A and B are shown apart, each in its own frame.
Chain A
Amino acid sequence: MNTETHNAEAAAKRAKADPNKCLVELRNIKKAFGGVHAVDDVSLNLYPGEVVAVLGHNGAGKSTLMKMLAGAYPIDSGDVVINGEKTHIRTPADAQAVGIESIYQTLALADNLDSVANLFLGRELLTKWNTLDDHRMDAAGRKVFQRLNKNFKNYHTPVRRLSGGQRQVVAISRAIYFNAQILIMDEPTAALGPEETAMVAKLIEQLKAEGVGIFLISHDMHDVFALSDRLAVMKNGKLVGTYATKDVTEDEVLGMIILGKKPDGKQQTERSAR
């Protein structure tokens, strides 16, 4: 694959993205593992430049829902509409092809490979003889890592020797370099210190400004209220409700997560106010 044209295409797509046009529409998504309905008839939207927090207990189905969007699990039924077009996402490669990048809680990194190898894993830059173009990847990798964290220097040590924050830099760099249009962040600050958490928050602001749409899975109420525009709460595989973050209180959100109870007198919202 020629990454330069790939990047250019993605950038052009993003520039074209109309802030009023829905980036992702999940319609009536269902997924069962054996007899258990992990995700039951969930519909959710995402617009350019907004952060939608997806909340719920462990096992509420939020990670499963996001993994289906990322192509890690097949969807049983329901539609995924990306930029107004119905899209079939069956593999991670399908998701990447429409500009969806994921940063997983478990940090999907190959611990034995170095940062540069992880950045390009699955999408290596090749020379004209179809061999790995290590020097080009090395140079490009240095630029991306530097942009995210000026102190990042461990380009050629296996990532297992890096700190949690540095590993997160590597994971996020994958989304940045390949110009994600839609970003799924699963507990992006879980393993991080305060400074690194602030770095992630800053980055989210920056990506929002560039028109990237972000699904944020988090247990950290502080993060949710600081970073998200809307929040969607799931319980037992079902969607409890979707609200603008500023319309609800932390207690109301906890009530939705724990009891599945909709807050009284609050209006659900399909998209953030501009």
Chain B
Amino acid sequence: MNQALQNLKHSAIDWRMVLMAGVLVVITVIFNVLSEGIFFSAENLYNIAQQTAVVGILATVMVLIIVARHIDLSVGSVMGFVGVLIAFLMYTANWSWPAACLAGLAAAIAVALYQGALTAYVGVPSFVVTLGGLMSFRGAAYLVADGKTQPLTDAFFLKLGGGFNGGIGTTASWVLGVLISVGIIGSMLSKRAAKQRYDVPTNPFGLDLLLALIPVALVLGFVAVMNAYQIPGKDDAQGIPIPVLIWGAVAMFMSFLVHRTRFGRYVFAMGGNPDAAALVGIPVKRVTMLLFLLLAVLTTIAAIVAISRLNAGTNSLGNSLELLVIAATVIGGTALAGGSGTIIGSVLGALIMQCIDSGMLLLDVSIGTRYVIIGQVLIAAVVFDVAYRKWTGDVL
């Protein structure tokens, strides 16, 4: 028994993630009971999944920004600015959607170069730089189209935001689900093989298998639910919504950056001990700059998803989104002091927040009450974070 406990302790299980997943399950079950089964309907889960995508995409990169001891308060405004710009180029200037999106990306990169250079090279705290950006780029979002809403009609482009034709269909969803499952098992096996090759001790095979089967079950379960939602009057069920697909791809890419590249390691080292990072020769300024550029790319992707979900670009796009993104990141276990945080945590954090919000909406809770509660959830998450770190001895 004791040996089994030791194995569990030393295995790669992140107990904090397990706890958070537990919290998510409890919350959703409560809402399901209170809403008499509506919460767990395929339609509701489909909507929650695609509504969370924009916040979720941005939260994955906010994790790294906060880990590196920075913050970005301007992310909602910049997304609004880029979104309106793309919509404006498509609607008013008649550009094709790829050209408009590239122009949007260029604008986001210009913003990142400006804000990143101020932070990394001039040494202005990112809090100040992006607080200014929060206002300036909201203004810029207004200036682009003189405050006029820019409607979008391109059929392909509108799929990117989900909605009526925004699912990939049942067959493609199952194929994708199975491919991802095979990938998860395969990576587990290859990791074990590599460890054995270097004579590094491995977990018992059963434990590794169990740890791989949990995400596999989650992926296949998700596909099954998405395939169960059929909009009345359509021939096929929706399948995985494209925004969720984009979010998933972004989260996987970001996890890859964190775990497998120097860039990811340096971001964490800078957050853990900035002096040490500089003393061992990490190019701190360049890494900070790259971090802002990465943010620019993901902001553009989020902007594209957001305007296509809305079928339009408006100057209020992404209003106070920065708060939701930071809240999702923090609820997901990223320490505001820097140095610790996970991508998968941000995914859970975004889902927890969206589930609470949607659940209350289903129960007809007034908007005032919803804000009050979500604010307190954020505080509860930080209190939990502090308590958890004390308990494990990881006081930062």
Asked whether B276 lies within 8 Å of A135 as measured between CB atoms, the reply is no
Q: In the complex the two chains form, what is the Cα distance from A111 to B277 in whole Å? A: 11
Q: In the complex the two chains form, what is the Cα distance from A71 to B394 in whole Å? A: 32
B194 within 8 A of A: yes
Q: Which residues of B contact A138 (CB under 8 A)?
A: 195, 198, 200
A272 within 8 A of B: no
Q: Which residues of A contact B262 (CB under 8 A)?
A: 124, 126, 132
Q: Which residues of A contact B280 (CB under 8 A)?
A: 92, 108, 121-123, 174
Q: Which label, helix, strand, loop or mixed, suits the secondary structure of the A interface? A: loop
Q: In the complex the two chains form, what is the Cα distance from A112 to B273 in whole Å? A: 8
Chain A 50-75, CB within 8 Å of chain B: the 1/0 string? Answer: 00000000000000000000111000
Q: Which residues of B contact A124 (CB under 8 A)?
A: 262, 265
Q: In the complex the two chains form, what is the Cα distance from A92 to B280 in whole Å? A: 6
A236 within 8 A of B: no
Asked whether B275 lies within 8 Å of A108 as measured between CB atoms, the reply is yes
Q: Which residues of B contact A136 (CB under 8 A)?
A: 198
Q: In the complex the two chains form, what is the Cα distance from A122 to B266 in whole Å? A: 8
Which of A71, A111, A123, A139 touches B198 (beta carbons < 8 Å)? A139
Asked whether A135 lies within 8 Å of B273 as measured between CB atoms, the reply is no
Nearest CB of chain A from residue B277's CB, rounded to whole Å = 7
Q: Which partner residue on chain A sits nearest B277 by CB separation?
A: A110
B291 within 8 A of A: no
Asked whether A104 lies within 8 Å of B279 as measured between CB atoms, the reply is yes
Q: In the complex the two chains form, what is the Cα distance from A111 to B259 in whole Å? A: 17
Q: Which residues of B contact A71 (CB under 8 A)?
A: 281
Q: In the complex the two chains form, what is the Cα distance from A245 to B267 in whole Å? A: 44
Q: Which partner residue on chain A sits nearest B269 by CB separation?
A: A110
Contact-size category for B: 20 to 34
Q: In the complex the two chains form, what is the Cα distance from A142 to B340 in whole Å? A: 24
Q: Which residues of B contact A158 (CB under 8 A)?
A: 394
Q: Which partner residue on chain B sits nearest A122 by CB separation?
A: B280
B180 within 8 A of A: no
Asked, given contacts A111-B272, A135-B195, A136-B198, whether A161 binds B394 with beta carbons under 8 Å apart, the answer is yes
A106 within 8 A of B: yes
Q: Which residues of B contact A110 (CB under 8 A)?
A: 268-269, 272-273, 276-277, 339
Asked whether B260 lies within 8 Å of A131 as measured between CB atoms, the reply is yes
Q: In the complex the two chains form, what is the Cα distance from A136 to B197 in whole Å? A: 9
Nearest CB of chain A from residue B257's CB, rounded to whole Å = 10
Asked whether B281 lies within 8 Å of A112 as measured between CB atoms, the reply is no
Asked, given contacts A72-B278, A121-B280, whether A139 binds B200 with beta carbons under 8 Å apart, the answer is yes
A13 within 8 A of B: no
Nearest CB of chain B from residue A201's CB, rounded to whole Å = 24
Which of A106, A122, A131 touches B275 (beta carbons < 8 Å)? A106
B393 within 8 A of A: yes
A109 within 8 A of B: yes
Asked whether A135 lies within 8 Å of B279 as measured between CB atoms, the reply is no
A228 within 8 A of B: no
Q: In the complex the two chains form, what is the Cα distance from A123 to B282 in whole Å? A: 9
Q: In the complex the two chains form, what is the Cα distance from A106 to B274 in whole Å? A: 12
Within 8 A of A (CB), among B260-301: 260-262, 265-266, 268-269, 271-273, 275-282
Asked whether A160 lies within 8 Å of B394 as measured between CB atoms, the reply is yes
Asked whether A113 lies within 8 Å of B272 as measured between CB atoms, the reply is yes
Asked whether B194 lies within 8 Å of A92 as measured between CB atoms, the reply is no
Q: In the complex the two chains form, what is the Cα distance from A244 to B396 in whole Å? A: 45
Within 8 A of A (CB), among B170-222: 194-195, 197-200
Q: Which residues of A contact B268 (CB under 8 A)?
A: 110, 112-113
Q: Which residues of B contact A192 (CB under 8 A)?
A: none
A117 within 8 A of B: yes
Q: Which residues of A contact B266 (CB under 8 A)?
A: 122
Q: Which residues of A contact B396 (CB under 8 A)?
A: 112
Q: Which residues of A contact B275 (CB under 8 A)?
A: 106, 108
Nearest CB of chain A from residue B283's CB, rounded to whole Å = 8
Asked whether B200 lies within 8 Å of A72 as measured between CB atoms, the reply is no
Nearest CB of chain A from residue B328's CB, rounded to whole Å = 21
Chain A 114-126, CB within 8 Å of chain B: the 1/0 string? Answer: 0001000111101
Q: Which residues of B contact A111 (CB under 8 A)?
A: 272-273, 339
Q: In the complex the two chains form, what is the Cα distance from A113 to B280 in whole Å? A: 14
Q: In the complex the two chains form, what is the Cα distance from A61 to B219 in whole Å? A: 60
Nearest CB of chain B from residue A93's CB, rounded to whole Å = 4
Asked, given contacts A135-B195, A160-B394, A161-B393, whether A93 binds B276 with beta carbons under 8 Å apart, the answer is no
A96 within 8 A of B: yes
Nearest CB of chain B from residue A259's CB, rounded to whole Å = 33
Q: Which residues of A contact B394 (CB under 8 A)?
A: 158, 160-161
Give chain A's interface residues, CB within 8 Å of chain B: 70-72, 91-93, 96, 102, 104, 106-113, 117, 121-124, 126, 130-132, 135-136, 138-139, 142, 158, 160-161, 174
What are 20 A-B residue pairs whose CB atoms fall within 8 Å in the complex? A109-B276, A110-B276, A110-B277, A111-B272, A111-B339, A112-B268, A112-B271, A117-B265, A121-B277, A121-B280, A122-B277, A124-B262, A132-B262, A132-B265, A135-B195, A135-B197, A138-B200, A139-B198, A161-B393, A161-B394
CB-CB nearest 10 A-B residue pairs: A112-B272, A139-B198, A110-B272, A92-B281, A108-B276, A122-B280, A112-B339, A110-B269, A93-B281, A131-B260
Besides A104-B279, A110-B269, A112-B340, 12 other CB < 8 A contacts? A70-B279, A92-B278, A92-B281, A106-B275, A109-B273, A110-B276, A111-B272, A113-B269, A122-B281, A132-B259, A138-B195, A161-B393
